[in-house]
């Protein structure tokens, strides 16, 4: 049996998405900036996808800026706000468990004269709102806190964070790549200034994402050229990818979330009950519907990934962006795990396509392989 449980890294392309994309990879090949029929056809497809995504997020169509993915959108939000608002201040606040593209963008800005506060998190990966309030300064221009963590699944209280920021006139950006279509995300009601989303975490294509930029936000573009995407992201649009993104959003349903949550709960319950010396990482309740992250004491995480892979099960030890690095996960260290505990951890992330039979098979194999590795380690 083949069981794919690494959906936080990427998801399989939905058949409906592929079908929607194919015409724009073949006969509907026009450049969306061209005035002729082929160009108008491409433009109409882009704007239809933009409208679908805007409706899902409850934001204006003109606030959706398509990008090459989450990394570009996060960089655009952080660097674009920093340089556009340097006359107001040079202080940025984020947290220690952010995705590497956020942390590295902040480190890059520090080398250029900006100051960054990296908030600690508790043992579940949650920031403390009082810590955020205490970190605020007169020269704070941006807070960037991800909606849900890509490794441990902890969901942050972004509505409350946005309120704190709005009361102080500070821009708030959230990376919602993991949470989009899985958690409530309402740009207008939550008063969010900037939101990063992408397609390949929700059964859409790789290489396309978006940054929501609330109207009136002062932000500089990263890319300069022909002034595409309302002047904020120059470059010929990835028409097929954008069409696929829109379709992925259109077919995402609440029942998919319920299905994933049910399987996640089964996985967590059985692993904790049937395997000794194991710990669940992340928040026990406020976590993504598809995320389970465990520490298996006295087990090497990478060895476990490889053994599971040999038996047809795809998992990971950390973020896909950091999986080839020798250092233990910065997220797991931030929640208080020791380096050896972080190296003994495993992330299993589900999708709408997983079945109960697959999860039960994965659990049985996991039990066997954890026991095998512990015997070897003795």
State pLDDT tens for residues 299-322. Answer: 999 999 999 999 999 999 974 454
Structure tokens at 328: 């233990």
Residue of 59, 101, 289, 321 with catalytic role: 321
State pLDDT tens for residues 108-144. Answer: 999 999 999 999 999 999 999 999 999 999 999 999 9
Q: How many CB atoms lie within 10 A of CB 9?
A: 19
Q: Is 59 a catalytic residue?
A: no
Residue 234 in 3-state DSSP? coil
Structure tokens at 7: 């959906």
What pTM was computed for the model? Answer: 0.95
Q: How many Å apart are CA 44 and CA 239, to the nearest integer? A: 10
Scan for tokens 């073949």, then name that residue. 26
Asked if 46 and 239 count as a contact pair (C-beta separation under 8 A), the reply is: yes
Closest CA to 284 of 124, 148, 158: 124
Asked if 56 and 181 count as a contact pair (C-beta separation under 8 A), the reply is: yes
Which residues have CB under 8 Å from 217's CB, separation 6+? 81, 171, 193, 194
Q: How many Å apart are CA 313 and CA 301, to the nearest integer? A: 14
- Digit-by-digit pLDDT tens for the chain (378 residues) are 999 999 999 999 999 999 999 999 999 999 988 899 999 999 999 999 999 999 999 999 999 999 999 999 999 999 999 999 999 999 999 999 999 999 999 999 999 999 999 999 999 999 999 999 999 999 999 999 999 999 999 999 999 999 999 999 999 999 999 999 999 999 999 999 999 999 999 999 999 999 999 999 999 999 999 989 988 999 999 999 999 999 999 999 999 999 999 999 999 999 999 999 999 999 999 999 999 999 999 999 999 999 999 999 999 997 445 445 668 999 999 999 999 999 999 999 999 999 999 999 999 999 999 999 999 877
Q: How many Å apart are CA 163 and CA 143, to the nearest integer? A: 12
Q: How many Å apart are CA 298 and CA 317, to the nearest integer? A: 15
Q: How many CB atoms lie within 10 A of CB 284?
A: 9
Work out whether strand 171-175 and strand 3-4 pair parallel, antiparallel, or are unpaired: unpaired
Output b/e per residue, 344-367; b: 16+ Cβ within 10 A. bbbbbbbbbebeeebbebbbebbe
Binning the chain into helix, strand and coil, the percentages to the nearest 5 are 45, 15, 40
> What are the chain's domains?
3-11+253-377 (3.90.1150.10), 15-251 (3.40.640.10)
Residue 220 in 3-state DSSP? coil
Asked if 110 and 116 count as a contact pair (C-beta separation under 8 A), the reply is: yes
């Amino acid at each position: 049996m083949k069981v794919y449980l690494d959906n936080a890294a990427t998801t399989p392309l939905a058949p409906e998405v592929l079908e929607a994309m194919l015409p724009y990879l073949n006969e509907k090949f026009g450049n969306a900036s061209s005035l002729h029929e082929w160009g108008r056809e491409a433009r109409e497809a882009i704007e239809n996808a933009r409208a679908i995504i805007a409706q899902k997020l409850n934001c204006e169509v003109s606030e959706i800026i398509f990008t090459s993915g989450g990394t570009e959108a996060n960089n655009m939000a952080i660097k674009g706000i920093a340089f556009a608002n340097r006359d107001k201040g040079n202080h940025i606040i984020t947290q220690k468990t952010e995705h590497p593209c956020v942390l590295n963008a902040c480190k890059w800005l520090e080398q250029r004269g900006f100051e960054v506060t990296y908030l600690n998190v508790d043992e579940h990966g949650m920031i403390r709102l009082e810590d955020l309030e205490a970190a605020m300064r007169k020269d704070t221009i941006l807070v960037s806190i991800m909606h849900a963590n890509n490794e441990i699944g902890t969901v942050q209280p972004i509505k409350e964070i946005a309120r704190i920021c709005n009361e102080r006139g500070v821009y708030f950006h959230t990376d919602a790549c993991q949470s989009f279509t899985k958690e409530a995300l309402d740009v207008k009601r939550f008063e969010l200034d900037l939101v990063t989303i992408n397609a390949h975490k929700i059964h859409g294509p790789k290489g396309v994402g978006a940054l929501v930029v609330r109207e009136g936000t002062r932000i500089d573009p990263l890319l300069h050229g022909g002034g595409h995407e309302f002047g904020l992201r120059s470059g010929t649009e990835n028409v097929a990818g954008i069409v696929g993104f829109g379709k992925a959003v259109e077919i995402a349903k609440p029942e998919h979330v319920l299905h994933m949550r049910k399987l996640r709960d089964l996985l967590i319950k059985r692993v904790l009950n049937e395997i000794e010396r194991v710990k669940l990482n992340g928040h026990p309740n406020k976590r993504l519907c598809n995320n389970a992250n465990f520490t298996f004491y006295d087990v090497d995480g990478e060895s476990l990934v490889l053994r599971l892979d040999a038996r047809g099960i795809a998992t990971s030890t950390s973020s896909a962006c950091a999986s080839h690095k020798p250092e233990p996960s910065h997220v797991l260290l931030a929640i208080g795990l020791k380096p050896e505990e972080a190296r003994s951890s495993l992330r299993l992330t589900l999708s709408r396509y997983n079945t109960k039979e697959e999860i039960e098979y994965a659990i049985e194999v996991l039990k066997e392989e954890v026991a095998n590795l512990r015997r070897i380690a003795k």
